[in-house]
Structure 1
Amino acid sequence: MALIVVLAALAFLMFAAYRGYSVIIMAPVAALGAVLLTSPSSVAPMFSGTFMVAMVGFLKNYFPVFLLGAIFGKLIELSGFSKAIVAAVIKWIGADQAILVIVVVCALLTYGGVSLFVAVFAVYPFAAELFRQNEIPKRLIPGVIALGAFSFTMDALPGTPQIQNIIPTTFFGTTTWAAPALGIVSSIFILALGITYLNWRRRSCVAAGEGYASGTLLNEPEPVDRAHLPNPILAISPLILIGVVNFVLTRMIPVWYGDASTVMMPGMKEPLITPISGVVGIWAVEGALVAGILFILVTAWSTIAHKVAEGSKQAVSGAMLAGINTASEYGFGAVIATLPGFLLVKEALVAIPNPLVNAAVSVSTLAGITGSASGGMSIALAALGEHFVKSATEAGIPMEVLHRIVAMASGGMDTLPQNGAVITVLAVTGLTHRQSYPDIFAITIIKTMAVFFAIGLYYTTGLV
């Protein structure tokens, strides 16, 4: 019965997410429902003492990243920098290479700090135009965007400022640059297989006589106005700046602060001591995003001045929704981890003998159930993080490798049909799950394969 309660809570949360209900509401409902069936008198204490503590703790660590990322993405959009980057890549690679162009643009934007959702809106008008010109079926666009924005730049490439690569830093004492060689080789694996698959799909559709306009066209974007775009070098500069500042701060923060920061102000009763290993990754990304934001404000102020107030409100709203969504799932994981039924689940997962496979399967499974990479990883780390660290340490596996595997696993099976990013990209492009989800799922399989490719690569070569 105890196991059924836990599985029912997970199934309820998955169903609620798939049906479009807010996780902010449904995560505590699912968690406290499980507590109610286990120990009715514990509902209120568990809500205040476990769920809310975990949720607030998550926001304390990561909400600034959500907020700064949302503001940066909005400024990239308002300044016209995103359009300039797309236009430059089209000119550089060639309009006839539509699939590669869109993948590269999505990768540049997301690796440069633009959120996955902003990238979808920025790229879609150009994708529609290129696919129309080359008579590529429109229904392939979501799969192409998924490869560029939802895969290797999200969690495999070292240094990526996406939240999926930041969360593991606080658990493992690592940085966003963890296991760089392993991450780069894995990214090449994902990109090569993904491009090969999508080009095969293009040829198959063309051979079958299918063109861009096959089927009903919905949400067609207005023609892209490429006049008066910013200089492409200026447009891509904030993305490069973020990468450079992130890299520099990752190395300099431990030099400046040592092992811990100790602050004692006159109004404090006791010193504020902050272990640096747990925050260096977060501080570095936050500093990098601030630098990117300031760069855009300085270089594009005349263009965005009349839009900043309203745009910042939209960015804050988006950041709050994304941050609290993930924090709520983290609180759910913290509650579920205390229940007797989860001990059985934990024992089953712990029974997987290999530490990296254990972590990969656990994180990928929970990401798939919740339909969220960051949410599934948060649940897994809240419940099993200490076990992952212990088993990896006993096996002599560097925390950097564990970081990279956990991050990549979070972005594997998360893109099941109920995933928010999947629903967003289909809504923006005016397509349905039936039309386009098979290609998104193929990218999901490739991404999941890459996790185990990375594990095998580490054990055969020792690559870090």
Structure 2
Amino acid sequence: MAVLGIILSLGLLMFMAYRGFSVIFFAPVFAILAAIFSGMAIMPTYTEIFLPNLANYLKVYFPFFLLGAVFGKVMEESGAAKAIAKAIVQKLGKKQAMLSVVLSAAILTYGGVSLFVVAFAVYPFAASIFKEADIPKRLVPATIALGAFTFTMDALPGTPQIQNSIPMKFFNTDLYAAPVFGTLGAIIVLVAGIAYLEWRKRVAHAAGEGYGTNHKNEPELVEDGNLPNPWLSALPLVSVLAVTLILQKLIFPHWNITSWVSQAPYSIPKAGVVGTMNNWALMIALIVGIMLAFIINPRRIKGNVAKAINLGAIGSLLAVMNTASEVGFGNVIKSLPGFQTIAHALTGINAGGSPLLSEAVTVNTLAGVTGSASGGLSIALDTFGKHYLDWAAKTNVSPELLHRVSSMASGGMDTLPHNGAVITLLGIAGLTHKQSYKDIFVMTLIKTGTVFVLILLQGVFHFV
């Protein structure tokens, strides 16, 4: 009954999210339903398990959501995001429409712009160039997803997205962990994803299908002569990566702060000081990026400072609450007796060898359960992080590999129908799951498969 309750509650959460209902409301409802099937009390489950885990997630990761959303909004209001996307599209032309959209989304995501903001920023240009090239509009979401939700989200070393920052706390690593593993993964995902999308385009054209008519949410593209220079627009993005690298690699390692932050009133555990400093580095880098984004185009941003900050802050609340609610849901599931059976099976994978395969399956599974890459990753590492770190030490596996594998695995099956980013992306494009979800899911399969291929290759060639 306990396992049945878990499956039923997950299925219902996916169904309600598919129908457009908020997971903030329904995540605790179905978490309690699963608890009832296990014979647990309703109110203690909500107040003593769901809410504390929701709050703990907010405590640790809210700054990244807040600063990332504000940064993305400032990039949008200053015209920097539009200038970068427009320059890439114009440079490559309509024959490379799909690659243009992927690269536009990838550059913004790798620079630290929120995935949700990237979708808003890139969609108008994606729809425009797809229409000009007569490519079916139903392929727009998958194309944006490839650029924003896959290799730049968690594979490329240095990406400031939250899926790459979460493992730092557990493995005392930094954003640039396992650069060879991550870069190879990014190349495989990009090449395979583009190949699939181009194949889908050719099949559609062979069948006589073009962009289509009577679409919803068609963008009204207005020429804007007040956009900043594209190269100047990239400065805030580069600064986020550069400042993070400098602080994490060159400055913080030489600071002896353990003695004072490990004591009252801070009382940070000594084992967590490195991860905490790495988090500080990303926060500082995002603040620098926000300041530069304000400066690069003062004429356009004038009068919009409050708007950018306020809308970014408000937008971050919805994103972080969606994810935190899913984390609360996942932690209730984690506390149920039926989950122990699942956990034992997951951690028992390849028990005699490297922990990487078990870690990838576990993170991928929990990301799918929660419908959130960061949510599933947090639950997996909260529950099994120390176990995998001890396992890695016994088998001589680098903590950097644990970081990169867990990060990349989180961006796999998280994109099931109840994933908030998928629902948002389809809403922006004015398309339905029926029209476009299949191709988004293929991007997920490519991303998921790449992680396991790399684990196999790493076992043979031992690269990090």
1:78 to partner: Cα distance: 0.4
Residues of 2 paired with 1:298 and 1:136: CA distance?
37
CA shift in 2, pair 1:203/1:254, >3 Å: same
Equivalent position of 1:388 in the other structure: 388
Equivalent position of 2:93 in the other structure: 94
Residues of 2 paired with 1:199 and 1:273: CA distance?
50
CA shift in 2, pair 1:174/1:439, >3 Å: same
Q: 1:303 aligns with which of 272, 296, 300?
A: 300
Residues of 2 paired with 1:442 and 1:386: CA distance?
32
Equivalent position of 2:341 in the other structure: 344
Equivalent position of 1:231 in the other structure: 229
Query: Any idea what the Cα deviations from partners look like across 1:89-119, whole Å, max 9, x if unmatched?
Result: 1233234311111111000000001111111
CA shift in 2, pair 1:228/1:273, >3 Å: closer
1:67 to partner: Cα distance: 0.3
**Structure 2 residue 247 is the aligned partner of structure 1 residue 249:** yes
Aligned letter for 1:246? T
CA shift in 2, pair 1:46/1:219, >3 Å: closer
Residues of 2 paired with 1:459 and 1:236: CA distance?
37
Equivalent position of 2:310 in the other structure: 313
Residues of 1 paired with 2:286 and 2:49: CA distance?
31
Equivalent position of 2:139 in the other structure: 140
Aligned letter for 1:117? F
RMSD across aligned positions (CA): 2.2
Q: Please give the secondary structure, in 1, of the residue aligned with 2:380.
A: helix
1:37 to partner: Cα distance: 4.5
Q: Please give the secondary structure, in 2, of the residue aligned with 1:262.
A: helix
Give the conservation status (yes or no) of the 8 Å contact 1:28–1:331: yes
Give the conservation status (yes or no) of the 8 Å contact 1:67–1:320: yes
CA shift in 2, pair 1:115/1:261, >3 Å: farther
Give the conservation status (yes or no) of the 8 Å contact 1:259–1:277: no
CA shift in 2, pair 1:225/1:270, >3 Å: closer
Residues of 2 paired with 1:269 and 1:366: CA distance?
35
Residues of 2 paired with 1:260 and 1:52: CA distance?
31
Give the conservation status (yes or no) of the 8 Å contact 1:14–1:370: no
1:325 to partner: Cα distance: 2.1
Residues of 2 paired with 1:15 and 1:388: CA distance?
33
- When structure 1 is superposed on structure 2, of 337-346 and 180-189 the one drifting more is 337-346
Structure 1: which 5+ runs fail to align? Answer: none
CA shift in 2, pair 1:273/1:117, >3 Å: closer
1:59 to partner: Cα distance: 1.4
CA shift in 2, pair 1:400/1:11, >3 Å: same
Equivalent position of 1:218 in the other structure: 216
Query: Any idea what the Cα deviations from partners look like across 1:408-441, whole Å, max 9, x if unmatched?
Result: 1111112222222222222211222222222212
Q: 1:331 aligns with which of 328, 341, 350?
A: 328
Q: Please give the secondary structure, in 1, of the residue aligned with 2:106.
A: helix
Give the conservation status (yes or no) of the 8 Å contact 1:372–1:420: yes
1:144 to partner: Cα distance: 0.9
Q: Please give the secondary structure, in 2, of the residue aligned with 1:96.
A: helix
Aligned residue runs from structure 1 range 353-392, under 5 A: 353=350, 355-392=355-392
Residues of 2 paired with 1:187 and 1:61: CA distance?
27
- When structure 1 is superposed on structure 2, of 26-35 and 82-91 the one drifting more is 26-35
Equivalent position of 1:15 in the other structure: 15
Q: Please give the secondary structure, in 1, of the residue aligned with 2:208.
A: coil
CA shift in 2, pair 1:387/1:329, >3 Å: farther
1:444 to partner: Cα distance: 1.3
Give the conservation status (yes or no) of the 8 Å contact 1:62–1:282: no
Query: Any idea what the Cα deviations from partners look like across 1:191-224, whole Å, max 9, x if unmatched?
Result: 1111111111222222222222x34322111124
Equivalent position of 2:280 in the other structure: 283
1:25 to partner: Cα distance: 2.8
Query: Any idea what the Cα deviations from partners look like across 1:240-292, whole Å, max 9, x if unmatched?
Result: 1111111111114532433725159xxx9656445422213311211110000
Equivalent position of 2:150 in the other structure: 151
Equivalent position of 1:432 in the other structure: 432
Q: Please give the secondary structure, in 1, of the residue aligned with 2:260.
A: strand
Q: Please give the secondary structure, in 1, of the residue aligned with 2:158.
A: coil
- When structure 1 is superposed on structure 2, of 328-337 and 151-160 the one drifting more is 328-337
Query: Any idea what the Cα deviations from partners look like across 1:385-424, whole Å, max 9, x if unmatched?
Result: 3333233333221111111111111111122222222222
Residues of 2 paired with 1:331 and 1:369: CA distance?
12
Equivalent position of 2:125 in the other structure: 126
Q: Please give the secondary structure, in 2, of the residue aligned with 1:114.
A: coil
CA shift in 2, pair 1:28/1:250, >3 Å: same
Residues of 2 paired with 1:131 and 1:163: CA distance?
30
Equivalent position of 2:203 in the other structure: 204
Give the conservation status (yes or no) of the 8 Å contact 2:330–2:369: no
Residues of 2 paired with 1:10 and 1:261: CA distance?
45
Aligned letter for 2:206? A
1:145 to partner: Cα distance: 0.7
CA shift in 2, pair 1:392/1:118, >3 Å: same
**Structure 2 residue 79 is the aligned partner of structure 1 residue 80:** yes
CA shift in 2, pair 1:269/1:449, >3 Å: closer
Residues of 2 paired with 1:109 and 1:311: CA distance?
17
1:88 to partner: Cα distance: 1.6
Query: Any idea what the Cα deviations from partners look like across 1:59-79, whole Å, max 9, x if unmatched?
Result: 121100100000000000001
Give the conservation status (yes or no) of the 8 Å contact 1:254–1:276: no
Residues of 1 paired with 2:22 and 2:209: CA distance?
38
Give the conservation status (yes or no) of the 8 Å contact 2:389–2:399: yes
1:190 to partner: Cα distance: 0.4
Aligned letter for 2:13? L
Q: Please give the secondary structure, in 1, of the residue aligned with 2:428.
A: helix
Aligned letter for 1:125? P
Equivalent position of 2:448 in the other structure: 448
CA shift in 2, pair 1:440/1:334, >3 Å: closer
CA shift in 2, pair 1:39/1:369, >3 Å: closer
**Structure 2 residue 26 is the aligned partner of structure 1 residue 26:** yes
Residues of 2 paired with 1:403 and 1:203: CA distance?
38
CA shift in 2, pair 1:383/1:16, >3 Å: farther
Count of equivalent residues: 459
Give the conservation status (yes or no) of the 8 Å contact 1:413–1:444: yes
Residues of 1 paired with 2:100 and 2:401: CA distance?
31
1:49 to partner: Cα distance: 3.9
Aligned letter for 2:436? S
